[in-house]
Structures are given as structure tokens and as C-alpha cells.
Amino acid sequence: MTKIDFSKVEMPTIDGGKVIADFRQQLGNQLYMTGNDIEACELGKRIYFSDGEMELSEKEVSIIKNMTATWSYIARTTLANLLDK
């Protein structure tokens, strides 16, 4: 099981700093609106309405990685690194 808080994703900035990003709405909506099965849609709702850290199965991690494959390099790799912990 992987644990992640989608409301507090630490992302690097261009000047070497860090910014805290909240991915709940963006990722939750994307999974819910474009997911190709009920599992992806339900995962989208769980992420959107999450409050703090949530546990993800290996299959859910795979769904998220597939869904974010077209995201920007920084956002995609930041999430992938957190999901691989």
C-alpha cells in the first residue's frame, strides 16, 4: 500500500525552491471525468474528497500513473516519485 496526501504535494520550482500543490481537484476531476471504468471514476471521487493522507492499492497507483502520463514533466515525475514510495 502507498500512502499520499494529494493536498500537500511538494513540487520543485524553477529557482530551486519548493511549492506545496493541491492535486485533489485536478486529479480527482480528471479521473472521474475521463476514467475508462468505474474503478477510475470512484478513485477520482476518493481523491477529490480526501482529507489528508489516503492509502492506495498497487492498481490505484497504476491508474493514477496512466492518467497523469500526459501531464507536465515536473508534475508527472513528482507524483510518480511519491507513488513509488
| Interval 17-64: pLDDT, tens | 999 999 999 999 999 999 999 999 999 999 999 999 999 999 999 999
Report pTM: 0.91
Residue 23 is predicted with a pLDDT of 97
> How many structural domains comprise the chain?
1
H helices of 1-85, in order, are 24-34, 38-48, 58-67, 73-83
Give me the domain span that covers residue 60. Answer: 2-83
Q: Phi/psi class of residue 52: alpha, beta or left (left: φ > 0; alpha: ψ in -120 to 50)?
A: left
Interval 53-80 mean pLDDT: 96
